[in-house]
Amino acid sequence: MSGQAAINLAGSSDAPRVAPAALAAFVKRAFEAAGLPSADAEIAAGLMVEADLRGSDTHGVIRLPLYLRRLKAGGINARPHIHIVEERPATALVDGDNGMGHLVMRFAAMTAIEKAKAAGVAWVGARMSNHAGPAALYAMMPLAHDMIGIYLAVGSNNHLPPWGSTENLLGTNPIAIAIPAQDEAPVVLDMAPTVAAFGKVRLKMQRGEELPAGWMIGRDGKPLTDPKRAEQGLLLPIGDYKGYGLSLMVGLLAGALNQAAFGRDVVDFVKEQGKATNTGHAIVALSVDAFAPAALFKRQVDAAVRVMRGAERLPGVERIWLPGEQSHRKRQDRTKNGIPVPKPLRESLDAAARELAIAPLG
Amino acid sequence: MSGQAAINLAGSSDAPRVAPAALAAFVKRAFEAAGLPSADAEIAAGLMVEADLRGSDTHGVIRLPLYLRRLKAGGINARPHIHIVEERPATALVDGDNGMGHLVMRFAAMTAIEKAKAAGVAWVGARMSNHAGPAALYAMMPLAHDMIGIYLAVGSNNHLPPWGSTENLLGTNPIAIAIPAQDEAPVVLDMAPTVAAFGKVRLKMQRGEELPAGWMIGRDGKPLTDPKRAEQGLLLPIGDYKGYGLSLMVGLLAGALNQAAFGRDVVDFVKEQGKATNTGHAIVALSVDAFAPAALFKRQVDAAVRVMRGAERLPGVERIWLPGEQSHRKRQDRTKNGIPVPKPLRESLDAAARELAIAPLG
């Protein structure tokens, strides 16, 4: 199953397209059959399809079979009591009761937004959660309220050592920041502090392709490019010790501070399907109006976007992209033309339908 | 003057040492002579010496002559009315009235700490500020209150283009995060989103040494290693587009949101000494107790630090460092043995003393 997230997506643009609503309806059916209350099934399905709409093909519906296996094995609680365990005017700590990460983080984001309306900013941490899909999903939730969103999470397995070490004690802990614009797409950064995501490594492993130098090193400290050795390799952080520092800080802020798993306590959610991961996240909602009129700020963001996009280009560069702009374009295309469902993904969804005795994806 | 920050610090460990109190007293005298109220002069001097104590040799007392020139030229206001212009329970926007950045950011940090005591977290932005020294200074202010600190700033000149561009529209906008520990040193990350700080480039320029590949590219997109061409070069961001994204986000959060300078509006504080820079910063104070008992969390941070430090090492690696640990050691050494003042720095401080007709550094 560890390769599930890396089903070959090459040529996914040529794959048959499925209407987002049909895909969401299928995922909802699957979660209902797995024991989730109907309203929760609908929310989780909607967020997973939203991930696919934005082009996060490795973090959306492709993960459904894994989530279903974890639900069946008891590694995810289908009917959690998601609740606030500690609260201040501008903070909250949410216990997810081992529910689906999407449900926990939507609850946390809504809590942060409500609190930020009164306080100007809010920071909400979560523990006893699970993998929640792409980080951008949650950082973007405050946007509709003219708020900036910041999201941090502890990754669901460790592939990064402290700088100078050979032990994978840290995750590709993602950071996402979303800033609203007026007519332009919101500026949305969603990044892991490693040069390459492990999903990209898995793809190269499956295809038997050499890894580019700079992605991984071996335990001998030398560049590791042989895909057959990648499982034993160490991801390289961006900026050497800087990426290590970022991953460590996200781990402390989203994990340790919330009494969620961090470091050696991180449970590999692929390999230990029956075990609670105690995944930690944090979300910040920051009200633009607490600093400047939102309409003014959003026009300024538009202007900044256009200055960056219009800047003089290096030879051979066709376009300067803003963070999140390509995902925004994919979303426009896929909303209109459907979400590509390559054959291996279709087969895995069909298999899930058979196992759950539900109607397959139409 | 653009080389001031890069006075050759090589061998600074062999340089004559000066007692921190004597250095602070000298800087205070200089600021008083430049028109600062005595209490403000003392605060700014203390923070600049603190930077030197922690080994931030390019961001501490070495900047005094530049600050003095800016004060004289009207580029910094010696007697600012630093005040809150917009406020919510957990946010504030501070107008620094073009005062010394150290004073503005100390005010902002204290405001954030006070608000976080009641609200759990606070986010304070600042505009009409100035260069404030190393980012870690402010991120660390909440530590004494069992709070986590996060600091963002718009750099005081632009050396980084958007990814794919040849125009230096972005700064080496720093991010600092400080997390309290119990018996271990606090974990303090202080990083710019570029592979190399421009100060390091200036040092190579002064010494006529080749730049390592990966630090800069030229406008032709090719690696730039010739120190004579560095002034026209483009710094490379960490993680390619990721570092660009981080710099952009910090610029929007610490600059645009506060109606401070960002992008093309950034004023080069070295080259335009008579002009207000409208520097923007942001500081977040996050109360540990709003999530977990501080004593428990700090013990967990200690444990995490020891796990990282004790991890298996790559061949040839003598020690795994935690972010901020080397600065902490320098501080211990320099508190006891004094701050190294190399000859060029001593000469520039002596020149300032003559110009201001104050007693020189003893």
Q: What is the pLDDT of residue B200?
A: 86
Closest-CA distance of chain A to residue B224, Å: 14
Cβ distance A122 to B167 less than 8 Å, yes or no, reads no
Whether residue A187 and residue B248 make contact (CB cut-off 8 A), yes or no, is yes
* Beta carbons within 8 Å of A227's beta carbon, 6+ residues apart: A201, A204, A205, A207, A208, A209, A210, A211
Q: Is the dihedral of CA B36, B39, B41, B43 positive or negative?
A: negative
Residue of A nearest to B282 (CA): A291
CA distance A225 to A214: 9
Give the pLDDT score at B13: 62
Pairing of strands B121-129, A339-340: unpaired
Tell me the pTM: 0.96
| Residue from B143, B154, B188, B246 to probe the interface with A (highest A Cβ count within 10 Å) | B246
User: Mean pLDDT across the stretch B252-267?
Assistant: 96
Query: Contact, B210 vs B204, CB < 8 A?
Result: yes
Predicted pLDDT of residue A7: 43
Whether the per-residue pLDDT at A6 is higher than 90: the answer is no
Structural tokens at position A77 = 């609680």
pLDDT for the residue B12? 57
Which has the closest alpha carbon to A234: A163, A156, A136? A163
Chain B residue with the nearest C-alpha to that of A318? B164
Strands A91-95 and A121-129: parallel
> What strand order describes the sheet that includes B147-153?
B83-88, B91-95, B121-129, B279-287, B147-153, B175-179, B187-191
Section A280-284 average pLDDT: 98
The predicted pLDDT at position A2 comes to 34
Q: Which two structure tokens, joined as six digits, stand for B231?
A: 């002034």
Residue-wise pLDDT tens digits, B127-146: 999 999 999 999 999 999 99
Asked if the C-beta of A83 comes within 8 angstroms of chain B's C-beta atoms, the answer is no
| Chain B contact for A256 (CB, 8 A cutoff) | yes
Percentage, residues of chain B above pLDDT 90: 89
Q: Is the pLDDT confidence value at A11 over 50?
A: no
Mutate to test the interface with A, among B308, B326, B327 (most CBs of A within 10 A): B308
Alpha-carbon Rg for chain B in angstroms: 20
Identify the CA nearest to A204 among candidates A225, A223, A188. Answer: A225
- B205-210: long-range contacts (C-beta < 8 A, 24 or more apart)? B205/B3, B205/B6, B205/B230, B205/B231, B206/B3, B206/B6, B206/B8, B207/B8, B207/B10
| pLDDT recorded at residue A362 | 85
Per-residue pLDDT of B54-94, as tens digits, reads 999 989 999 999 999 999 999 999 999 999 999 999 999 99
pLDDT at residue B269, rounded to an integer:
86
End-to-end CA distance of chain B: 25
Angle (CA) A255-A257-A259 rounded to 5° is 65
Give, as one character, the DSSP assignment of residue A239: T
Amino acid at A270: V
Q: Does A238 touch chain B (CB under 8 A)?
A: yes
- C-alpha A100/C-alpha A6 separation (Å) is 21
Q: Verify whether the Cβ–Cβ distance B258 to A291 is below 8 Å.
A: yes
Q: Which of A221, A241, A316 sits opposite B315 (nearest CB)?
A: A221
Q: pLDDT for A13-44, tens place per residue? A: 689 999 999 999 999 999 999 999 999 999 99
State how far residue A142 is from chain B, nearest Cα, in angstroms.
15
- For residue A1, the model assigns a pLDDT of 30
B142-183 pLDDT, tens digit each? 999 999 999 999 998 899 999 999 999 999 999 999 999 999
Q: Do B162 and A241 touch (CB under 8 A)?
A: no
What average pLDDT does the structure give for chain A?
A: 94
Q: Walk me through the domains of chain A, giving residue ranges and CATH numbers.
A: 1-73+341-362 (1.10.1530.10), 97-194+237-328 (3.30.1370.60)
**Nearest CB neighbour to A291, from listed B93, B249, B263:** B93
A90 pLDDT above the threshold of 50: yes
Give the tens place of pLDDT for each residue, B295-318.
Answer: 999 999 999 999 999 999 999 999
Nearest to A291 among B125, B166, B292 (CB): B125
Cβ separation A239–B148 shorter than 8 A? no
B175-179 and B158-160 as β-strands: parallel, antiparallel, unpaired?
A: unpaired
Residues of A in contact with B241 (CB under 8 A): 321, 323
CA-based diameter of chain A, in Å? 57
CB within 8 Å: B308 and A165: yes
CB pairs under 8 A between A and B: 248
Mutate to test the interface with B, among A146, A242, A284 (most CBs of B within 10 A): A242
Q: pLDDT exceeding 70 applies to what percent of chain A? A: 96
Lowest mean pLDDT among A115-119, A261-265, B51-55, B99-103: A261-265
Residue B304: what pLDDT?
Answer: 97
- B256·A300 Cβ contact <8 A: yes
Q: Rounded CA gap, B114 and B193, in Å?
A: 30
Q: Residue A9: is its pLDDT beyond 80?
A: no
**ipTM value for the complex:** 0.95
d(CA B161, CA B169): 5
* A155-213 pLDDT per residue, tens: 988 999 999 999 999 999 999 999 999 999 999 999 999 999 888 898 898 889 999 99
Q: What radius of gyration, in Å, describes the C-alpha atoms of chain A?
A: 20
Instruction: Give contacts of A164 with chain B, Cβ < 8 Å.
Output: 313-314, 317, 319-321
Question: Are the beta carbons of A301 and B256 separated by less than 8 Å?
Answer: yes
Give the H/E segment covering residue B43: helix B38-53
